[in-house]
Structure formats: C-alpha cells, structure tokens
Structure 1
C-alpha cells in the first residue's frame, strides 16, 4: 500500500463491507415488485433462498483461498465486478430464472467482498490496533445500515423495483473504479511453503450439503426424504474427512508443520458469529410481525428496526474508544441481548408506544450482540497464521450464515418471514432465540452475570404476582420493569466481578513483588529450623521498609532482618539494593562483622548517590555454624533478639551499634560478633519494631514479652502463628510493617 493514503483505503473497505449489509435490505424492499412482475411462486422462492445460501457459503470458501493466492486487492476487484454483473443481470432480466440467477451471482459477489475486507484487516494493521479498526468499521457499517433501512422501505414505491435493484450494482461499480485507482494491481508472490487447506474439498461439500438440508427442511418438510438424505450425507462425509485427516497425520507426520488456526480463538469467534446470525434472524422475523399486529405502519416498523443499527453504532464506538476483552463483552452484551429479545413478548398494545419501545429493544439487542463480535473477531484475525489467513477468516462469516440457517430451522420462523405466522409461532421463535443467546452467554461470558439477570427478572415478576395479583403482574409495563431490573442486576454483577478480578490481579502482583524482593524463608537451613512472616502495614503494597533474608553459605547459615528509614517505593528500592548486597557478600565474606561493614558501606554509597543524608537502616545479622550450640550476632541499631525457653522469655544481651548507612562501621576495625547460647528446647525471635509498637485503640503498645510468656510456644511455626494472631487481636490497624523470624536448632 505504498503511496496510498491508508484512510482512503479503509473508507473503501468500509463502504465495500456496507454493500453486504445493505444488499438484503434493498432486496427485501424490491422483492415484492419482482414477485408481481415475474409471478414468482413458492418453487421459485425456495430456489432463490437455497441458491443464495449455497452461493454465499461457496463464495466464502473460494474467496478465502483466492485471497491467500492472489491478495485481497485483486479479489476485492473481482468480487465487486461479480456484484456489478449479477446486479445488471437481475435488473435487466426478462425471465424469472434469469432474475434469480442474477440475484444469486450478486449474493456470491457480496460474500467475496466481505472476505476480502476481512482479510485486509490483519494485513493493513498491527495486531494491537485490530480491535479499534474493527470497531470503527462496525460503526461505519452501522451508519450505512440505519440510512439504508430507511431508504429501502421507500425506494420501491418511489422508483420501482428495477431502479431499486440497480442501486447496489451502481454503488459496486463506483467502488470498483475507486479500487482500480487506490489499490495495487500486482499479484502477490507465491509462498514456497505449501499450506494445507483449512477447509478441504470434502469438508466444503459436507458444509454445502448441511446448509442445503437445513434450508430445505422448513421450506418443504423435515420428513422429506431429500432433506434426510442431505443431512445424513453431510454428517457421513464430514466424519469420513475427519477420520482420513487423523489417519494421514499419524502415518505421515509433517516434520515442519504449518501453524494452524488457534482453536480457542476460532471457537470463540465461530460461537459469537453463529449467535449473531441466529438472533438477527429471530429479531428481523419477529419484530415486524409484533408491530404490524399492533397497527404500526411499515415506515415506523422500519424506523424501529433502525434501532438495531444504532446499537451496532454504539458497540463499534465503545470498542474503538474503550478496551473490551472477549470475556467482558460476552458477560455484558449477551445477557442484555437476551433481555431485549424476551421483552418483545410484552410490547404495549398502543401502536405509538409499541414502536417506541420496539426501537429501544432493537438498540439493546443490536448493542448486546455486536459488542460481543468485535473483540472475538479482532482476536481471531490477529491470531491467524500468515500462510492461510484469508481462508481461515472465512470461518467467521460462514458461522454467521450457519447461525441464520439454524434460525430458519426453528419451527415458525419461516411462517413469520412469509407473513403467515401467528402468536404461537412468534412466541416459539422469540423464546428459542432468547434461550440460545442466554446459553451462549453462559458459555462465553461469566455465568454469574447471566444468572443474575435471569434470577432478578424472575423474582421481580413473581413478587409482582404475589403482591399485585395476576392481572397487574401480566401487564406489559410490569413485565418490562421486571426485565429491566434483571438487566440492572446483571450490570451490577458484571461490575462487581470486574472489581474482583482487578483486586485479584493486584493481589497477584503484590505476592509476586513480595516474593521477588523478599525471598520466602526456608523451613530449614543447615541445622536451623526457621519460620518467617512478613506483613505490610498497608494492604495491597506487598513490600514495605522491613526486610529479612536467610541464606546457606560456606561459613554457615546466615540471617538478616532489619528496617529501612522511610516508606513507599524509595524504601522498597533501598530494601532491594541492601538485600542484593547481602545475598552476594554473604557467600564471599568469612567474618560476620566484615559483612556488616560492607552492608554499611553499600548503604552509604546509595545515600550519597541519592543525596539523602538521612538514609539508614537498622539491621541484625545472625550466623550459626554447623555443630555449634550457639549463634553469633551483630546488632546495627536494631532490636535485640528474644529467647523463649523453659525459663521464660528473655532479652538477649547484644550491644547495639549505629545503624547501617551512617558510615560508622567503616571508620575502624570490623565489629566483633556477640555469641549467644541457643540450647535445645529454646527458640530465638527476631523482629522489627512494627510488632512491639503495634497499638490498640487506647494507644497502648503491644506487650511483646508478656504475650510471649502467655503463648508458651517454642516451636517456630506455632510461635509465629500464635503471635501473628495475637497481635491482630490486639490492634485494629497496623501502623508499621512487621517482619519476624523464629528459629531453633534442629
């Protein structure tokens, strides 16, 4: 696309995709005139419907392979030309079968245009922008839908069916001229890697047979032998193709397989597309019948149906300007669409109010269905392998087509489309569509949201029955109110779930940060049994100014515990730097006093680099040599260890030096460690001042020595567990971080 403005190309593609949406609208508006002129009967109508479905499915599959071979610009020009030729044949036809052949050719061309437009998205855009691009394209197509729906309803009466049929071929011809000017005409270089087809000939034939059977079933009869033969042959052929591919893969495994279509991305996009096709058919079949039964004019029916396009527009803009994930969109959109379809049962009898409410329902359904499509389609397009990107992208529109065909198979849907259906068929189609959308919402989205919608709406309706009586509860307003309450409850459940997931991510980040900075204390190092505990004062921070570490070195087991002056991220940076120095120098430095001096110099250098003259850290270093009955301690301004044993709780006599970072340890000889006896059955508790300075509601400090005597625990695990529970009971809110290490000889 060198030298061509990308915005012009995108506008061209959006306009081309809009043709595919406008074609059935204009076709529906001009069909009445063609039926009258040609005298089309049921046989011709069945042939037209079947031919359209088969032609579009075949075009999806063939256009995908053609795009991979020759590039989407070339295929876009071909398919636009096919639309022009098919439309010209239909407009100038003098025989009914010629007219139907032109229509079928035009439908096949529109399907190819859609595939070329889809295949261009991952080629022209980076993967991270595809969601925004698809959202903008949907907004553009929705605008064309709203305008086209209101023009189509009047074009037959104003200009006649042949002029109406000529609108889209003329538009396709203009886009063809624009594509010749904007798009490159060169052929893509063929890849040397031969990629296996996403959909082989056997699977393609099976799909065509399945569509033919599903189309003919409601039009003729499900008991018709031809319908049974088509569906049975499709199932057998598909199973045979699947078995053959599995057998071939086992016999001749490919040493360098071509990347396949990601099953998860494809499954989500196919499910979303099939739901869209199914629900769209139900809405377009049921809504006109509902409104016409209430005396709404054709013009107002079309205006109400335009609400679907407004919902599409809102969904496209939401996806363009907000980040929507597939799970989020499915949880929010599909329950709203199900609520909208269910509320069509309860439209008021008065024509004006019914048209207004039906328009609002169309907006809700359009937004709910389409907001699900965009992230699933964008993720699918971004994940497709380059070797067969376009052929694989045909799965999505084919799923929409299959969804529509399955919608026609619902009892009563064909009768509604032909105007022969009554309340029974209407209720069947709407409830089936509502159930299908709700089921997909449970599968793709969060079940809690779907269940909240259904439960709240059902309980609200039962409450109205219990309190107001059956007559009041069956009024349309009461039923719609119940459904609105269900939708509101679904939104609340969705937002709460979002908050829960956000908090879970924050908590996971907190744990990861804590484990990255503060390594978990091992249960045993050398001949010491250890238990460590860290609790930040502020929830959600993970790491504060307190720190500890325990390492096994050639010089014995060494421990470090301390507290950095200050709070926040700067304190965390200091902790990280100090612990990194300890972890490296603890293995290299034989003397514990010299190790403390090196930590002091490291922190002094850090303070000088930051220009912080008040940066320091209290610390306690402890060392145990294998086979010894005592430990060695260097106390740099920290709290002395507490020894818990059979004779009670005692503060150990360890002299306190100046804290680390003040440079005092580097002025003279290295400090001499203080030996402490650690007899069997005794434990040492190393702690920071967050424990001893924890306050209760009266401002009293936690009586650490007194409580340790009352707890009577010398096992490290039991000691730390009881101590943390006890201090939690003492204070309602921590004012400082707490770090603990309890140790005893193994």
Structure 2
C-alpha cells in the first residue's frame, strides 16, 4: 500500500462489499422478468437456486486459498472482473442456461470480493481498531442496502430486467478500474511451501454435497432418493475425513503452522450461522405477511428498509462504544428475538402492519448485526498470518449454511407464495426465535437465553391481556409488546455492562493486591506457609495490613503488621515499608538490626509527610534451616499463637514500641526472642482485624476458643477454617485481616 492513501483503499473495499449486498436485492427484483421472458420452468428454477448456492460456496473456499497465495489485491481485481463478465453474459443472454451460467459466475465473483475485503481488514488495520473499522464498514453497507432495496423494487417495472441486471456488472467494472489504479500489481510469487488448508478437499466436497442436499430437500421432497443420497454421501465423506485426521500422519519438517484459534472461530461461525438463518426467515416472512394484509410492494420494501437502518445503528454503535462479545450478545440477541416474536401479532390494517413491521425490522437488524461485529472483529484479529484469508472464509460460509438451514424448517415453503399458510409462517418464526435462544446458550450466555425466553413469553401474555389473543384493530397491543420486549433487551444489556465493570474492578483489585502484597509461597526453606489477606472494604484490594515472606542467606524471614490510618495514604506507607523489608532482609544479618532499619525508614517517611502520628505495629520472624525454633522481634504487635496437639497457647514474646516512633534507634538493636517450633505444631501470625471482629451483639471474635474448635495444625486447613469462621461470626468487617500460618516441613 506504499504511496496509496489508505482511506481511498478502505472506501474501495467498502464499495466492493456493498456491491455484494446489492447483488441479491437487484436480482430479486429482476428475476421475475427474466423468468417470464425465457419461460423458465420449475426444474430450471431449482437448478438456478442450487447452482447459485454451490457457486458461492465453491468460490468462498477457493478464493480464500488464492488470497493467501496471491494476496488480496490481486484476488479482488480478478473477482471484480468475474462479476463484470458474469453480469455481462447474463444481461446479453438469449438462452436460459446462458443466463444462469452468467449469474453463477457473478455469484462466484461476489464471493471472491467478499473474501478479499475480509482478508484485507487485519492487513490494513491494527488489531485494536478492527472493531471500529468493521462497524464503519457495516454502516456503509447498510446505507447501500437501504438505497438499493428501494431502487431495486422499481427498476424492473421502470426499465426492464436487462437494465436492472446491468447495474451490478457496470458498478463492478467501475470498481475494477479503481482497483487497477489504486492497488499494487505485484508479480506472481515464486513457488514455495504453501500453508496447510483450513479445510481439506474432502471437507470442502462434503460441504458442497450437504448444501446441495439441503437446497434440494424443500424444493423437491425430503424422501427423494437424490436428496438422501447427497446428504448421506456428505456424512460419509465428512466421517472419513475426520477419521483420517485422527490417525497419525506424516508431518512436514519444521514447526507446524499456527492454527485458527478455536474459541474465536467458534464464536464467529455460530454468530454467522445465526445471522444467515434469522435474516432469511425475516426477509422471507415479512413480505408474505404484509402482502397478505394488502400492503403494496413499494411499502413492503420500505418496511424492509428498516433492517438496513438497524444495521446502520449497529455499525455506528460499534464505532462509538467499545463492544465486547458479552455486551453485544446481551443486547442484540434479546432484541432480535423480541422482534421475531412480534411478527406473530401484526395488525390487520395495511398501514399499521407496515409501520409495525418496519419497527420490527429495525429491531432485528440492530440486534443481529450488533451481535456479529465483536465476534467477527475478534476472529479477524486472531487469525494467523499464514492462513488469514482461508480462515476468514469460515464466516461467510457459516452465513451461507445458516440461510440454507432456514430453508429446511417445516413450513418454509409457505414463504415462497403470497398465499402461504399462516400456521406455517408462525412455525418458521418461532423456530427462528428458538434458534437465537439456542445460540445464546452455545455462546455461553445463559442469562441472555433466559432473557430471550422471558421476553417472548411476556410479549405473548401482554398481547393476550391487551388484545384477547388478536391484534386486529388494536395496533397499540403489538406496540406495547414490542416496547416491553425491547426494554427487556436493554435491561439484559445494562446488567451485562454492570457485570463486566464489576469484573474489571475485581481484576484491578487482585492485580493491586498482588503487586503490593506478594502472595505467600506454600514453602520457603524448611517452612510450610499459608497466607490470607481480607480487606475490610470490598473493591480496594489493599488496606493498612501487610505481610511478606522471603528466602534470604540468613534463613526464611517473615513480616506481618498493621499501619496506622486507612485509605490511599496507608497503602503508600505499606508499599514503602514492604519495599524496605524486601531489600534489607537480604543485606542485614541480625533480625533486630533489620527491625531498627524499618523503624528508621518509617520515621523518615513520617518526617517527609509532616505526620507525627505515623507508626506501624509489626512482627518479624526468622527461621534458620536445621533447627526446631524460630526467632521473633515484636514491635508493638500481637504475639503469635502456637496451635498443637496440646491446644492453643500464647507465646511469651515481649512487645517493643511500634515502628516509626524512633525507639529502636536510641540504643542497641533489640535481641530476638527464640520460640520453640516442635513438629506437629503451627504458629499463627495475625493482625487485630481478626481478634477484634465483632458480631451483631458487639462481641469480639473469640480467637483462642475458635482455634480450639477448629483443631487444625496444617497451615492450609488452619487459614481456610479461620477465614470461613470469621465470616460466619461477623456480618461486616470493620478492619483488614492479615494471617500467616507456618509449620516445619
């Protein structure tokens, strides 16, 4: 892209993608005129539909490999050329099969254009911007959708089908000229090792057979031997490919190429299939429902333009706010299901039905597309460079399969005629609602699924209550149900946003706690240790209590204490004090001198702040390998408790003045107090937040009594039991708690 403005290239790609959206709209308007002129029968129409689906699927799979081998600019040029050539053949055709061949080439070219556009996104944009870029592209495509839908409905009657068919090839030719001018024309790369395909030829062939069978099933009959043979052959071929991949295979020398991230691929494929399935159900059912109520074709198209407006709103939302898969699915999936459920209760009047259908289309379009964008963006950002385009084809293939599966729903044949049975249409729409709820479960969003089900159920009850089961002449009932469902979708979205904010706060809390208070290791030297820290205020992570355990040349050393004060200033004092301990514990041989250095450090900090009342209680403990005792210096802190087979006992450790008062610097360093640590016993070091925890009656936590009840000398069991027991004792902590339990290994 050297020397080419990236904005111009992005506009070219967006126009090319919009052309792929415009193609089925114009074709839907011109196909009737072509069928009338050529006298196409049912068999030819079935062949046309099947050929179009197979051509697109084949082109999607092949163009992905070609983009990886040749680069997306070259494939984009070739695909635009195929669209222009195929459209030209279709426009000038004098025979139905020539016309169908031109359409198939045009479909294949549009698939190549789509793959080239998708593959270019991670190449031209940084991973963090892909969501915004995809949102902007969706907004641009939505504008083309709205304009194209309203132009397409008038083009056949105004100018004839051949002129309508010529719009897409003419636009493709213009874009091809722009691509030749803007995009580089590199030479073909030399032959070299090609990356392994995302899906092999066997899987691709199985997909083609499956699509052929699923397309022919509703058009012919599911009991037709040809349909059963195609589906059976697809299943056998896929099973054979699966068995072949399980068997040990010969690998090429060198490291294996990076694979497609399974989680990102699964989310994108599931979202794409949902889009294809639900979009077909919507765009096929709404016109039939409106035409049955006497709405004109022009107004039907105007109502369906609401789907494009919903897409536009979704794209702009993705550009404005940072969406995640959780928030987007929490908002989008309930809204989509609410809209689909509302289609069961369209008013009988033509004007009112058109208005409600337009609102439903906006809701469903926004819900479906706002769910797609984060999944697609995350998928594109996670693709490996070696197989980026071939893997990106999975998303449009999923959309294609979703649309094909929608045609297999019982009653889908009712969507093909204006006289479609109302019960069959209702079945198709309810199946679409169930599919969206199922997708919510597959994506791991049970809350969204429950919201979807509740929204649909409440809508039905509301309609029964307001309209007695019928909305004829009562458009307010349908509007009220639609509003209630939309509100539930917004509630689900708000709940998910709040959950994500709380999760981020919790993650920040844990990160802060681990940065200031290093986790106590399970073993240091000959000591087994367990630590526990519980701040009094939820969401803070760190308070005024502190602990640390380090392995030094002088043995294993521990520090536990409590700083006077609360809030951010107390956290700053803790950070400074622990930093001094971590550095001086390795440099100072005498434990009493280490305590004196901590005292001087805290005194300097108090002088710098002008805080004459700054101090901290602390207890320092040291264990030298090979002996059955520890040494302790107690600076105004609570004495350790020994827990053993003979019960719980307080240790005779004299308490000096707290750190920060300068008392340890007035004379010689204090002498450590030795404490016996026999096997089978444990020492508990704690802060006053444990012993001063109160219950609802104001009684302090009976630490010694509860330790006797717990009867645990293993550090892990002792700490876990205390932490759980004190939570049961008090309804709310008034002070932080820091605990360390230790025993000889």
TM range (shorter): 0.7 to 0.9
* TM-score normalised by length of structure 2: 0.87
The Cα of 1:480 is off from its aligned counterpart by 6.3
Structure-to-structure mapping, 1:330-349, within 5 angstroms: 330-349=329-348
The Cα of 1:269 is off from its aligned counterpart by 1.7
Q: Structure 2 vs 1, CA of residues 462 and 681 (structure 1 numbering), >3 Å: closer, same or farther?
A: same
1:298 pairs with 2:322: no
For 2:608 and 2:643, the matched residues in 1 are separated by 42
1:455 pairs with 2:454: yes
| Corresponding residue number in structure 2 for 1:416 | 415
SS at match of 2:249: helix
The Cα of 1:47 is off from its aligned counterpart by 2.3
| Corresponding residue number in structure 2 for 1:325 | 324
For 1:252 and 1:120, the matched residues in 2 are separated by 30
| Corresponding residue number in structure 1 for 2:205 | 205
Check whether the contact 2:115–2:392 (CA below 8 A) recurs between aligned residues.
yes
Deviations 1:238-278 (A, max 9, x none): 3333334444x434465422222223222222222122111
Q: Structure 2 vs 1, CA of residues 544 and 428 (structure 1 numbering), >3 Å: closer, same or farther?
A: same
Check whether the contact 1:716–1:742 (CA below 8 A) recurs between aligned residues.
no
SS at match of 1:541: coil
For 1:388 and 1:34, the matched residues in 2 are separated by 40
| Corresponding residue number in structure 2 for 1:374 | 373
Check whether the contact 1:335–1:441 (CA below 8 A) recurs between aligned residues.
no
Check whether the contact 1:457–1:482 (CA below 8 A) recurs between aligned residues.
no
Q: How large is the Cα RMSD of the aligned pairs?
A: 3.9
5+ residue gaps in structure 2? none
The Cα of 1:190 is off from its aligned counterpart by 4.4
For 1:67 and 1:454, the matched residues in 2 are separated by 42
SS at match of 2:619: strand
1:258 pairs with 2:257: yes
Q: Structure 2 vs 1, CA of residues 611 and 38 (structure 1 numbering), >3 Å: closer, same or farther?
A: farther
The Cα of 1:339 is off from its aligned counterpart by 2.1
The Cα of 1:144 is off from its aligned counterpart by 0.5
Q: Structure 2 vs 1, CA of residues 662 and 347 (structure 1 numbering), >3 Å: closer, same or farther?
A: same
Structure-to-structure mapping, 1:583-662, within 5 angstroms: 583-586=582-585, 588-603=587-602, 616-622=615-621, 633-638=632-637, 654=654, 656-657=656-657, 659-661=658-660
Structure-to-structure mapping, 1:317-716, within 5 angstroms: 317-455=316-454, 457-458=456-457, 461=460, 478=477, 481=480, 484-519=483-518, 534-550=533-549, 558-586=557-585, 588-603=587-602, 616-622=615-621, 633-638=632-637, 654=654, 656-657=656-657, 659-661=658-660, 664-666=663-665, 668-673=667-672, 688=687, 690=689, 713=708
SS at match of 2:166: helix
Q: Structure 2 vs 1, CA of residues 235 and 581 (structure 1 numbering), >3 Å: closer, same or farther?
A: same
For 1:434 and 1:334, the matched residues in 2 are separated by 10
For 1:171 and 1:326, the matched residues in 2 are separated by 35
| Corresponding residue number in structure 2 for 1:270 | 269
Check whether the contact 2:55–2:104 (CA below 8 A) recurs between aligned residues.
yes
Q: Structure 2 vs 1, CA of residues 742 and 163 (structure 1 numbering), >3 Å: closer, same or farther?
A: closer
For 2:249 and 2:106, the matched residues in 1 are separated by 43
Deviations 1:302-354 (A, max 9, x none): 01100110111111112222222223323332232122112111111111111
The Cα of 1:43 is off from its aligned counterpart by 2.7
The Cα of 1:117 is off from its aligned counterpart by 1.0
Check whether the contact 1:457–1:483 (CA below 8 A) recurs between aligned residues.
no
SS at match of 1:400: helix
Check whether the contact 2:414–2:425 (CA below 8 A) recurs between aligned residues.
no
Check whether the contact 2:333–2:448 (CA below 8 A) recurs between aligned residues.
no
SS at match of 1:250: coil
| Corresponding residue number in structure 2 for 1:69 | 69
